[in-house]
């Protein structure tokens, strides 16, 4: 197993109280596998990603659990080891490519820095490799673009540059947090193709964080559905999309407008909205929005149950079919 996250918990210590952003999250990612982490905004998806590399911003911190990367608990390693893993064996791509790039250095230089640091290249070697890497992520005329600054590139080209920086070390795992959300749909499709190609070439695993279920359906082997800091349902993507167990997953899928499904067909949302994490409802945190909820659901959070091959779900009402 490449990555195993075990009972991860992260809390933000705010003036108003303790906000549990990630609450007992357990999942695995195999070599070369694409796993999608989905859910609405404010459900803790990004904090899971940041926790893996110990980048949770203050006043938040990891308060429990293990992060086993190739068998080593990243919470127990020295800062030097963590620095080697971060940006080396595990790469990261964020939503806003503009914010991820340094505006005062040319793109090529930012790749060289990573190559020198993580692959021990000389300045000269790195210069050549940076151009090769830029060409590899589909940036036309890489010799010229290596000298360009981020503001001289379009959004799609910027995200390609960020992906070049994140993957130039041939990481085993790429964490991509909403990598295409800020991009146009035609550009999004190109970037997803690029990620898929890189993954095949390097046998790289991907943790894809997104709220876009269409993107998930087209890219992920397995899907993790997250709500209020907890995993509600996990399993193979096609099986979850065909036949979701959790009412929340079902609600999300019903709410996605699908192109070509006909006009006028009413879209069904989920009543209410994501609760404030400081004032979570008792019992199952989804029960006030759930059409299947009864008295039991308001008392205790349901245990995670195995529902079938490789499928788990935390709901009293879910029944294996």
Tokens representing 239?
A: 């099986």
Q: How far is the CB of 237 from other proteins (least distance, A)?
A: 10
Encode 148-168: b = buried (16+ Cβ within 10 Å), e = exposed. Answer: bebeebeebbbbbbbbbbbbb
Taking the least distance from each CB to other proteins, the nearer of 147 and 254 is 254
**Binding-site string for other proteins from residue 55 to residue 94, where x marks contact by CB under 8 A and - marks none:** ----------------------------------------
Q: What is the dihedral of CA 185, 101, 75, 71, to 10 degrees?
A: 60
Listed ranges 65-73, 187-195, 297-305, 307-315: which one lies at the site for other proteins (CB under 8 A): 187-195
Residue 263 CA to residue 283 CA, distance in Å, equals 38
Among 256, 278, 298, 299, indicate the residue that binds other proteins (CB under 8 A): 256
Among 270, 284, 290, 318, indicate the residue that binds other proteins (CB under 8 A): 270
**Binding-site string for other proteins from residue 155 to residue 174, where x marks contact by CB under 8 A and - marks none:** x-------------------
Other Cβ atoms less than 10 A from the Cβ of 41: the count is: 9
Q: How far is the CB of 87 from other proteins (least distance, A)?
A: 29
Encode 252-268: b = buried (16+ Cβ within 10 Å), e = exposed. Answer: bbeeeeeeeeeeeeeee
Q: How far is the CB of 88 from other proteins (least distance, A)?
A: 31
Tokens representing 277?
A: 């994490």
If one asks whether residue 278 binds other proteins (CB under 8 A), the answer comes out as no
If one asks whether residue 15 binds other proteins (CB under 8 A), the answer comes out as no
Residue 24 CA to residue 234 CA, distance in Å, equals 14
Taking the least distance from each CB to other proteins, the nearer of 71 and 264 is 264
Helices 155-167, 123-136: axis angle to 10 degrees equals: 130
If one asks whether residue 243 binds other proteins (CB under 8 A), the answer comes out as no
Listed ranges 10-18, 74-82, 114-122, 212-220: which one lies at the site for other proteins (CB under 8 A): 212-220
DSSP secondary structure string for all residues of 87-131: TTTEEEE-S-HHHHS-TTS-HHHHHHHHHHHHH---HHHHHHHHH
Q: How far is the CB of 121 from other proteins (least distance, A)?
A: 31
If one asks whether residue 16 binds other proteins (CB under 8 A), the answer comes out as no
The separation between CA 159 and the C-alpha centre of its own chain, rounded to angstroms, equals: 16
Contact 184, 142 (CB under 8 A): no
If one asks whether residue 200 binds other proteins (CB under 8 A), the answer comes out as no
The site for other proteins (CB under 8 A) is made up of 40-41, 154-155, 184-190, 192, 211-218, 238, 241, 251-253, 255-271, 273-274
């Amino acid at each position: 197993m490449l990555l195993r996250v075990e009972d991860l918990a992260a809390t933000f210590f705010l003036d108003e109280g303790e906000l549990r952003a990630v609450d007992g999250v357990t999942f695995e990612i195999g070599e070369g596998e694409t796993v999608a982490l989905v859910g609405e905004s404010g459900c803790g998806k990004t904090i899971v990603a940041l926790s893996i590399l110990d980048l949770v911003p203050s006043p938040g911190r990891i308060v429990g659990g293990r992060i086993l990367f190739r068998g080593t608990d990243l919470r127990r390693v020295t800062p030097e080891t963590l620095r080697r893993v971060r940006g080396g064996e595990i790469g990261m791509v964020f939503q806003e490519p503009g914010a991820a790039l340094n505006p005062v250095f040319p793109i090529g230089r930012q790749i060289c820095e990573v190559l020198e640091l993580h692959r021990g290249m000389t300045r000269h070697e790195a210069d050549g490799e940076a151009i090769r890497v830029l060409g590899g992520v589909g940036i036309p005329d890489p010799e010229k673009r290596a000298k360009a600054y981020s503001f001289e590139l379009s959004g799609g080209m910027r995200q390609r540059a960020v992906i070049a920086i994140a993957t130039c070390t041939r990481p085993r795992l790429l964490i991509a947090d909403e990598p295409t959300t800020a991009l146009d749909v035609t550009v999004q499709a190109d970037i997803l193709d690029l990620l898929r190609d890189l993954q095949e070439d390097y046998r790289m695993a991907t943790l894809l964080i997104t709220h876009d279920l269409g993107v998930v359906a087209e890219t992920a082997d397995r899907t993790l559905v997250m709500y209020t800091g907890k995993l509600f349902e996990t399993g193979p993507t096609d099986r979850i999309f065909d036949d979701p167990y959790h009412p929340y997953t079902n609600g999300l899928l019903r709410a996605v407008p699908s192109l070509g499904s006909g006009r006028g067909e009413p879209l069904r949302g989920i009543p209410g909205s994501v609760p404030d994490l400081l004032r979570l409802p008792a019992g199952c945190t989804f029960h006030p929005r759930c059409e299947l909820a009864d008295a039991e659901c308001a008392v205790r959070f349901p245990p995670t149950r195995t529902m079938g091959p490789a499928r788990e779900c935390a709901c009293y009402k879910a029944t294996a079919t």
